[in-house]
């Protein structure tokens, strides 16, 4: 019976892996549900739609109005993609880039045409009609209506608008638009509707020079919730709602151009990333089997299932929540793969310890999973809490990173705790019972990590101070403290129309190197406009001399017409509002992790130790950025978050072992310092193996990747090394210091 169940378990896992694998390759049905090819990719990986608006009006728009409009548009377009970007181009233009979509006209129609929105009373204070109630034609100009107080609300008074429907007993399904007003708008509308309801006057919704709706006021609306009825169908209701939402902008905008653009990183970036992923996975599989034997084989099978499940879920989330996969999203997947491997390594190390203690393989497997569970649960839940907070509070890059990380964590826990365990028991039941196939823990050489804590802390302090010094020297020499890229500083967008259609591969191989010679920067973003010979190059801000050199290179090497080269200064795609939201999200996530660790470990000192270790990792990686001058761009935040997530997970594993040893009476004869040293040494193999497997995957990505991917992978490798160092050498020492110093002070 056991053999039959074991064979059935193996068949189920293999069938599920193959089935999900085929789904990833081919999808299901005509819509290819679950197919990797259907996952929405970001502008950096696959391109999308680029729309440029220009502010209209006689006066130049103020910076504050531009920033407010950009922020509101950013929140609006995130409904299409978590990675949508809105930024300033020139002095009065706003550019929107929405990845993962290909129909610019459809986006423009759904987005709504930006313009001025007004709610106009039917009569002025003297009883004169402001408009024809049948045709919606105004009897006065907007300026005259504003002067005599006939404009009840403007678009900025509307907080939100959404299309909906309700069931009317007499008329059947009725389609409506639900409005929520700002506090100021609520007061204005309450006064206006109270006045209008007496004679059943109408209030016209006037947008971009035309009436879009003229509803009659049925009752006074004082709660800030308004409803526009009489919509023909759900599409009309949603279109009107969309118009009202976009009409809440401070500036009147008109569409200047819309393009379908190609990937910023080019097809080479995608192909090399896929190749790196396959090679990295193969190396990890060989490593796991070579080190852990049968358990390593089980973990590899479970990891294969994990990868295909994550790919299917990414497809589903792409459709349901507008998830768009970009480099930061890939960072989230890399981190979750590392955590999936980590959960297995923790368990296998425990199993080997149990076998070394004289238990049978069967008992060791059961006991190993029981003892490893708390460390796996706490490590994954702590990171999951951070992912949830970042997903709720973050925008753009952070939200995409959080969603992919959250998906990966949930799936990795399932495959590590359920699938791998089932496979292990299945192989055992098939007759592979000799302990040599599972391994036995060797006697741990007791390294006095805690005794060297002053040296470790000293090294960290020196590196961090050196980082600040390097940033100061960089700033004093006229450069920025860090090598901020165009995503943070803004830059120059140069449109070049070539004489013939140039393939992306040729652009990457022939054009980009010439631009890099001029800029001295590897962070050149390329977008190819579909259906034309036009290519957009985004670089750091170019001086007048560099712009001339750019044009000369294009003319000399590709015989481009000089008049077909245009350049505009563009603002940062990471706005001050997005930066603020990122900082707030990270602070809140860190605080939530601290609370969880405090709750789970019943000792706030564990929480303080982990947070200080995290701060150390962030500062050391910042020092690396300062010394290496690696470009700090859109992936910087995701890179930092990956390092934080990786480090906290490694730290919790050690803290879990400390908690266990403190509760175990067999260690009562040992001093606190001896107990902490024992715990670090017992988890040392796990820390090294987990770091090594994750490092391998990122290193392969670095070796094979294009320039922009190298700039993402290099600091990530530095962060993995730093996170491993802080977990082993600092985290336990910090807890010990807090424990002994606070206890003494009390």
Secondary structure letter of residue 507 according to DSSP? I
In-domain check, residue 627: yes
- The CATH code of the domain that includes 196 is 3.30.1360
- Predicted pLDDT at 708: 64
105: helix, coil or strand?
A: helix
Secondary structure, 3-state, 80-104: CCCCCEEEEECCCEEEEEEECCCCH
In-domain check, residue 707: no
In-domain check, residue 535: yes
- CA separation (Å) from 567 to 166, 349, 485, 721? 51, 59, 18, 41
- CA separation (Å) from 208 to 69, 117, 253, 380? 16, 7, 10, 51
Give tens-digit pLDDT for 689-743.
888 888 888 888 788 876 667 777 888 889 889 989 999 999 999 999 998 876 5
Q: Answer yes or no: is pLDDT of 502 > 90.
A: no
- Predicted pLDDT at 463: 96
Q: What's the CA gap between 407 and 564, in Å, rounded?
A: 46
Strand order in the sheet with 225-231: 158-168, 172-181, 225-231
Q: Answer yes or no: is pLDDT of 319 > 70.
A: no
Same structural domain for residues 163 and 210? yes
- Predicted pLDDT at 253: 78
Q: Which of 33-47, 158-172, 253-267 has the highest mean pLDDT?
A: 158-172
> 523, 538, 570 — which closes off a domain?
570
How many Cβ atoms sit within 10 Å of the Cβ of residue 555?
A: 14
The confidence band for 471, taking pLDDT boundaries of 50, 70 and 90, is very high
- The mean pLDDT value for 399-420 works out to 85
Q: What's the CA gap between 331 and 400, in Å, rounded?
A: 10
Tell which wins on pLDDT, 498 or 702.
498
Looking up tokens 């006689």 gives 58
In-domain check, residue 429: yes
Tell which wins on pLDDT, 469 or 42.
469
Q: Answer yes or no: is pLDDT of 145 > 60.
A: yes
Are 727 and 657 in contact by the 8 Å Cβ rule? The answer is: no
- Predicted pLDDT at 620: 94
Q: What's the CA gap between 20 and 309, in Å, rounded?
A: 6
Between strands 158-168 and 172-181, the pairing is: antiparallel
Same structural domain for residues 531 and 398? no
Q: Answer yes or no: is pLDDT of 352 > 60.
A: yes
- Predicted pLDDT at 710: 77
- Predicted pLDDT at 331: 64
- Predicted pLDDT at 728: 92
The first and second tokens of residue 10, run together, are 């193996």
Same structural domain for residues 140 and 276? no
Give tens-digit pLDDT for 186-226.
999 999 999 888 888 999 988 767 888 888 888 888 898 88
In-domain check, residue 599: yes
Q: What's the CA gap between 260 and 106, in Å, rounded?
A: 12
- The mean pLDDT value for 422-442 works out to 89
Q: Which of 261-275, 362-376, 646-660 has the highest mean pLDDT?
A: 362-376
- Predicted pLDDT at 461: 96
- The mean pLDDT value for 512-524 works out to 83
How many Cβ atoms sit within 10 Å of the Cβ of residue 516?
A: 15
Same structural domain for residues 409 and 269? yes
**Helices and strands counted in the chain (H then E):** 24, 15
Q: Which of 400-409, 455-464, 594-603 has the highest mean pLDDT?
A: 455-464
Domain region containing 687: 450-469+579-695+714-745
- The mean pLDDT value for 16-41 works out to 76
Strand order in the sheet with 534-540: 253-261, 48-55, 93-99, 85-89, 565-570, 491-497, 534-540, 525-528
Secondary structure, 3-state, 392-408: HHCCCHHHHHHHHHHHH
The confidence band for 251, taking pLDDT boundaries of 50, 70 and 90, is confident
Same structural domain for residues 464 and 607? yes
In-domain check, residue 338: yes
- The CATH code of the domain that includes 77 is 3.30.70.3400
Q: What's the CA gap between 420 and 412, in Å, rounded?
A: 10
Tell which wins on pLDDT, 71 or 414.
414
Half-sphere exposure of 68 (CA within 13 A, CB side): 12
Among residues 586, 579, 641, the alpha carbon closest in space to that of 74 is found at: 579
362: helix, coil or strand?
A: helix
**What are phi and psi for residue 507, nearest 5 degrees?**
-60, -45
716 sits in which H/E element: helix 707-725
Same structural domain for residues 510 and 429? no
570: helix, coil or strand?
A: strand
Please, what sign has the CA dihedral across residues 154, 158, 162, 165? Answer: negative
In-domain check, residue 706: no
> 107, 136, 157 — which closes off a domain?
107
- Predicted pLDDT at 157: 84
Contacts for 458 with CB less than 8 Å, ≥ 6 apart: none
Q: Which neighbouring-strand residues pair with 574?
A: none
- Predicted pLDDT at 263: 58
Tell me which long-range contacts 687-692 makes (C-beta under 8 A, separation of at least 24). 687/650, 687/653, 687/654, 687/724, 687/727, 687/728, 688/724, 689/291, 689/345, 690/338, 690/341, 690/342, 690/345, 690/650, 691/650, 691/720, 691/721, 691/723, 691/724, 692/287
Q: What's the CA gap between 299 and 277, in Å, rounded?
A: 17
Same structural domain for residues 272 and 419? yes
496 sits in which H/E element: strand 491-497
Q: What's the CA gap between 115 and 243, in Å, rounded?
A: 9
DSSP structure string for 603-653? -HHHHHHHHHHHHHHHHHHHHHHHHH---B-HHHHHHHHHHHHHHHHHHHH
- The CATH code of the domain that includes 677 is 1.20.1640.10
Same structural domain for residues 531 and 614? no
Tell which wins on pLDDT, 427 or 270.
427
Same structural domain for residues 301 and 337? yes
- Classify each residue of 610-648 as buried b or exposed e, where b means 16 or more C-beta atoms within 10 Å of its C-beta: bbbbbebbbbbbbbbbbeeebbbbbbbbbbbbbbbbbbb
Q: What's the CA gap between 405 and 589, in Å, rounded?
A: 14
Lowest mean pLDDT among 72-76, 250-254, 264-268, 322-326: 264-268
Contacts for 301 with CB less than 8 Å, ≥ 6 apart: 13, 14, 17, 419, 423
- The mean pLDDT value for 247-273 works out to 66
The first and second tokens of residue 239, run together, are 């279109």
The first and second tokens of residue 373, run together, are 């569970």
Please, what sign has the CA dihedral across residues 475, 477, 483, 489? Answer: positive
> 515, 549, 570 — which closes off a domain?
570
Lowest mean pLDDT among 271-275, 285-289, 726-730, 731-735: 271-275
- The CATH code of the domain that includes 505 is 3.30.70
Same structural domain for residues 14 and 32? yes
- Predicted pLDDT at 115: 59
Same structural domain for residues 374 and 307? yes
658: helix, coil or strand?
A: helix
In-domain check, residue 474: no
13: helix, coil or strand?
A: helix
- Predicted pLDDT at 247: 62
- Predicted pLDDT at 43: 65
518 sits in which H/E element: helix 512-519
Q: Answer yes or no: is pLDDT of 112 > 60.
A: no
What is the pTM for the complete model shown?
Answer: 0.69
Same structural domain for residues 551 and 683? no
Among residues 307, 331, 340, 306, the alpha carbon closest in space to that of 387 is found at: 331
Are 223 and 178 in contact by the 8 Å Cβ rule? The answer is: no
Contacts for 427 with CB less than 8 Å, ≥ 6 apart: 6, 294, 297, 298
- The mean pLDDT value for 129-148 works out to 89
| Count of the separate structural domains present in the chain | 5
Q: What percent of the chain has pLDDT over 90?
A: 19
Q: What's the CA gap between 276 and 532, in Å, rounded?
A: 32
Instruction: Name the burial class of residue 128, with classes exposed (0-12), middle (13-18) and buried (19+) by CB atoms within 10 angstroms of its CB.
Output: exposed
Q: What's the CA gap between 544 and 569, in Å, rounded?
A: 12
Look over the chain and give the mean of its residue pLDDT values, rounded to a whole number.
82
Q: What's the CA gap between 695 and 26, in Å, rounded?
A: 31
């Amino acid at each position: 019976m056991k053999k039959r169940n074991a064979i059935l378990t193996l068949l189920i896992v293999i069938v599920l892996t193959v089935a999900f694998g085929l789904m990833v390759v081919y999808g299901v049905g005509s819509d290819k549900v679950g197919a990797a090819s259907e996952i929405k990719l970001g502008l950096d990986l696959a391109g999308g739609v680029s729309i440029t608006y220009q502010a209209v009006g006689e006066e130049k728009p103020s910076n504050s109005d531009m920033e407010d409009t950009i922020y509101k548009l950013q929140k609006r377009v995130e409904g299409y993609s978590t990675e949508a970007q809105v930024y300033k181009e020139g002095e009065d233009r706003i550019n929107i880039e929405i990845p993962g979509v290909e129909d610019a006209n459809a986006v423009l129609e759904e987005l709504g045409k930006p313009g001025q929105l007004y709610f106009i009373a039917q009569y002025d204070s003297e009883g004169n009609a402001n408009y024809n109630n049948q045709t919606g034609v105004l009897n006065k100009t907007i300026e005259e209506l504003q002067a005599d107080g006939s404009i009840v609300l403007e678009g900025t008074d509307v907080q939100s608008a959404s299309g909906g429907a309700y069931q009317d007993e007499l008329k059947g399904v009725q389609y409506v638009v639900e409005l929520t007003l700002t506090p100021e708008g609520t007061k204005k509308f309450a006064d206006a509707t109270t006045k209008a309801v007496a004679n059943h006057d109408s209030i016209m919704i006037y947008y971009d020079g035309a009436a879009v709706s003229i509803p009659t006021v049925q009752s006074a609306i004082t709660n800030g919730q308004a409803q526009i009825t009489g919509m023909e169908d759900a599409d009309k209701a949603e279109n009107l709602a969309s118009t009202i939402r976009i009409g809440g902008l401070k500036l009147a905008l008109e569409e200047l151009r819309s393009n379908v653009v190609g990937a910023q990183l080019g097809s080479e970036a995608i192909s090399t990333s896929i190749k790196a992923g396959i090679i990295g996975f193969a190396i990890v599989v060989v490593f796991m089997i070579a080190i852990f034997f049968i358990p390593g084989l089980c973990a590899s099978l479970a990891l294969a299932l994990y990868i295909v499940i994550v790919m299917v879920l990414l497809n589903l989330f792409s459709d349901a929540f507008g998830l768009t996969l970009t480099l930061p999203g890939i960072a989230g997947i890399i981190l979750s793969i590392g955590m999936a491997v980590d959960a297995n390594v923790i368990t296998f190390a425990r199993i080997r310890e149990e076998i070394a203690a004289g238990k049978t393989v069967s008992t060791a497997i059961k006991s190993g999973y029981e003892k490893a569970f708390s460390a796996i649960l706490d490590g994954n839940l702590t990171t999951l809490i951070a992912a949830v907070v970042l997903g709720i509070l973050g925008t753009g890059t952070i939200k995409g990173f959080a969603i992919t990380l959250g998906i990966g964590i949930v799936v990795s826990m399932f495959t590590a705790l359920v699938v791998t365990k089932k496979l292990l028991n299945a192989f055992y039941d098939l007759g592979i019972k000799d302990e040599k196939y599972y391994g036995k823990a060797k006697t741990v050489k007791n390294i006095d990590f805690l005794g060297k804590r002053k040296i470790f802390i000293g090294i960290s302090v020196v590196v961090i101070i050196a980082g600040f010094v390097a940033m100061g020297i960089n700033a004093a020499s006229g450069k920025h403290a860090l090598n901020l890229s165009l995503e943070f500083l803004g830059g120059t967008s140069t449109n070049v129309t070539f004489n013939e259609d140039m393939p992306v591969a040729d652009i990457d191989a022939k054009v980009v190197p010439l631009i890099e010679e001029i800029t001295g920067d590897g962070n050149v973003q390329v977008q190819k406009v579909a259906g034309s010979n036009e290519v957009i190059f985004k670089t750091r801000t170019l001086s007048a001399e560099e712009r001339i050199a750019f044009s000369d290179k294009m003319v000399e090497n590709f015989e481009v017409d000089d008049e077909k080269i245009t350049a505009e200064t563009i603002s940062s795609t990471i706005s001050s509002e997005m930066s603020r939201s990122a900082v707030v999200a990270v602070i809140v996530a860190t605080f939530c992790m601290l609370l969880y660790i405090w709750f789970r470990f019943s000792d706030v000192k564990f929480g303080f130790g982990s947070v200080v270790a995290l701060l150390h990792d962030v500062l050391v990686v910042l020092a690396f950025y300062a010394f290496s001058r690696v470009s700090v761009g859109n992936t910087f935040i995701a890179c930092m978050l990956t390092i934080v997530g990786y480090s906290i997970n490694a730290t919790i594993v050690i803290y879990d072992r400390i908690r266990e040893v403190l509760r175990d009476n067999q260690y009562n004869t040992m001093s606190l310092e001896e107990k902490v040293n024992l715990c670090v040494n017992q988890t040392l193999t796990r820390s090294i193996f987990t770091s090594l497997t994750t490092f391998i995957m990122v290193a392969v990505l670095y070796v094979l990747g294009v320039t922009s991917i190298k700039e993402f992978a290099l600091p990530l490798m530095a962060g993995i090394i730093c996170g491993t160092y802080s977990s082993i050498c600092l985290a336990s020492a910090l807890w010990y210091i807090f424990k002994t110093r606070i206890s003494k002070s009390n």
